[in-house]
């Protein structure tokens, strides 16, 4: 239990120093990625122009590129990555499954289904897609909860119910895409994930979810530590296991739905970020949660920088680069853990 609930100052001091070091390194990497994201693009900027804009003295094209186009997109990517990282950490912890991802509850497939159905069936305006995606994701997660409720939200039943809902939603997505006609290319682009055209309105949409999710996760980190134990042991230590699992999964669903609504389905972030952080600071959730958020933010921002710069002025799907970065990292982790 000492590794889960550290209580002595001597035990926590080295961990606190390690947390600060890793956090500082991740923050520096995020800032460096942000600087590159501001100056690299189809219309490149110099560092001097960026400094002028940052100081409030920039004007004209440079100010528009930074303040209205590139900066809100970068911030939206940070929030999407942090939310997906946190959601993945929560899901892997409460299901005690290292292969669990934010989509295990069906929320990603449900959001995708809702967006595709709305576009094909009613041709709704694009401004409504984030809200439609969030409603679809929440609906799919609710169905998963209903299927798993009779078992007391056991990890196995949550995973099985989520797989069933995901399979059903994915089948409906495929069926609607077959009849999408000229809309197919746009829909396939959305399903690959991306931050193209994201502005301050999208930042405002996901900001309360990301910050609220991080704050609530940190405030309940002690209880999240209990969820790593077998249910019988967690109950003996005072944990209401079923209620806690439902609460943490609901939080993960909200974070995932908000992310999908802004960026579409983005693969691998919620799966790989918790594994990377676990190697750095171990299994104490109070140590891991802030680093998971920073790691997810870095992975998405770096992937988005590559997606919009490698083939400029054409943009490549964000999901392509999260998979290209996350896939090899995950394979390396598997090899490192295989005896």
Domain boundaries along the sequence of the chain: 32-67+85-331
User: Does the structural domain 32-67+85-331 have CATH classification 1.10.1040.10?
Assistant: no
Q: 203-240 burial, b if ≥16 CB within 10 A, otherwise e? A: bebbeebbeebbebbeebbebbbbbbbebeebeeeebe
Q: In this predicted structure, what is the pLDDT of residue 89?
A: 92
Residue (of 133, 132, 156) closest to 245 by Cα position: 156
pLDDT at residue number 14: 56
The number of residues making up the chain comes to: 339
Nearest to 251 by CA among 109, 93, 90: 90
Q: Are 258 and 193 in contact (CB under 8 A)?
A: no
302-331 as b/e: b if 16+ CB within 10 A: bbbbbbbbeeeeebbbbbbbbbebbeebbe
Whether the ω angle into residue 313 lies within 30 degrees of 0, i.e. cis, is yes
* Residues sharing a CB contact under 8 Å with residue 64, sequence separation 6 or more, in sequence order: none
Tens of pLDDT, residue by residue, the chain (339 residues): 444 444 434 444 456 677 888 889 999 999 999 999 999 988 899 999 999 998 888 778 889 999 999 999 999 999 999 999 999 999 888 888 777 788 888 888 998 898 888 888 777 776 677 778 778 888 898 898 888 887 777 777 888 888 899 999 999 988 888 887 777 777 777 788 889 889 998 899 899 989 998 999 989 888 888 888 777 777 777 777 778 888 888 898 889 888 888 888 888 899 899 988 988 887 888 889 999 999 999 999 999 999 998 877 788 888 888 888 878 877 877 776 655
Token pair belonging to 103: 């989509």
Q: What is the pLDDT of residue 5?
A: 46
Q: What angle do CA 249, 251, 252 make, to 5 degrees?
A: 65
Structure tokens at 307: 């997606």
Q: Is 77 exposed, middle or buried (0-12, 13-18, 19+ CB in 10 A)?
A: buried
Given a contact cutoff of 8 angstroms between Cβ atoms, the answer to whether 147 and 166 are in contact is no
Q: What is the DSSP letter of 99?
A: T
Tell me the C-alpha distance between 304 and 195, whole Å.
Answer: 7
DSSP strands (E only) in the chain: none
Nearest CA to 318 among 331, 303, 333, 330?
303
pLDDT for the residue 56:
81
Q: Residue 273: how many CB atoms within 10 A of its CB?
A: 31
Query: Residue written as tokens 């409603």?
Result: 135
pLDDT of residue 84: 94
Task: Tell me if 209 sits within 8 A of 227, measured CB to CB.
Answer: no
User: Whole-prediction pTM value?
Assistant: 0.86
Q: 315 by DSSP, 3-state: which?
A: coil
pLDDT by residue (tens digit) across 174-193?
Answer: 888 888 777 777 777 778 88
Confidence (pLDDT) at 4: 47
pLDDT tens, 28-85?
999 999 999 999 988 899 999 999 998 888 778 889 999 999 999 999 999 999 999 9
Q: Is 311 helix (H, G, I), strand (E, B) or coil?
A: coil
pLDDT value at residue 319: 84
Q: Give the Å distances, CA to CA, from 222 to 192, 283, 333.
A: 36, 12, 27
């Amino acid at each position: 239990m000492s590794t889960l609930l550290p209580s002595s100052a001597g035990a926590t001091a080295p961990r606190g120093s390690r947390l600060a070091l890793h956090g500082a390194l991740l923050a520096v990497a995020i800032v460096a990625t942000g600087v590159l994201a501001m100056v690299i693009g189809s219309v490149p900027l110099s560092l001097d122009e960026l400094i002028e804009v940052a100081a409030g003295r920039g004007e004209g094209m440079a100010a528009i590129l930074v303040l209205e186009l590139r900066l809100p997109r970068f911030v939206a990517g940070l929030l999407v990555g942090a939310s997906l990282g946190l959601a993945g950490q929560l899901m892997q912890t409460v299901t005690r499954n290292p292969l669990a991802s934010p989509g295990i509850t069906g929320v990603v497939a449900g959001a995708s289904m809702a967006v595709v159905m709305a576009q094909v069936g009613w041709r709704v305006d694009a401004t409504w897609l984030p809200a439609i995606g969030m409603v679809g994701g929440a609906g799919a997660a609710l169905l998963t909860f209903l299927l798993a409720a009779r078992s007391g939200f056991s990890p196995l039943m949550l995973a099985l119910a989520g797989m069933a809902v995901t399979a059903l939603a994915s089948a409906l997505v495929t069926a609607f895409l077959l009849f999408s006609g000229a809309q197919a290319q746009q829909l396939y682009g959305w399903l690959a994930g991306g931050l193209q055209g994201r502005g301050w309105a999208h930042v405002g949409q996901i900001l309360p979810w990301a910050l609220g999710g991080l704050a609530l996760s940190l405030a309940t980190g002690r209880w999240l530590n209990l969820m790593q134990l077998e249910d019988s042991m967690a109950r003996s230590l005072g944990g209401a296991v079923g209620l806690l699992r439902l609460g943490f999964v609901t939080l993960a669903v909200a974070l995932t739905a908000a992310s999908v609504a802004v960026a579409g389905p983005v693969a691998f972030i919620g799966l790989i970020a918790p594994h990377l952080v676990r190697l750095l600071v171990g299994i104490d959730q109070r140590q891991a949660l802030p680093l998971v958020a920073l790691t997810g933010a870095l992975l998405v921002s770096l992937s988005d920088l590559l997606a919009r710069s490698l083939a400029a002025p054409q943009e490549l799907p964000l999901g392509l680069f999260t998979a290209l970065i996350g896939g090899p990292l995950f394979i390396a982790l598997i090899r490192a853990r295989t005896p």
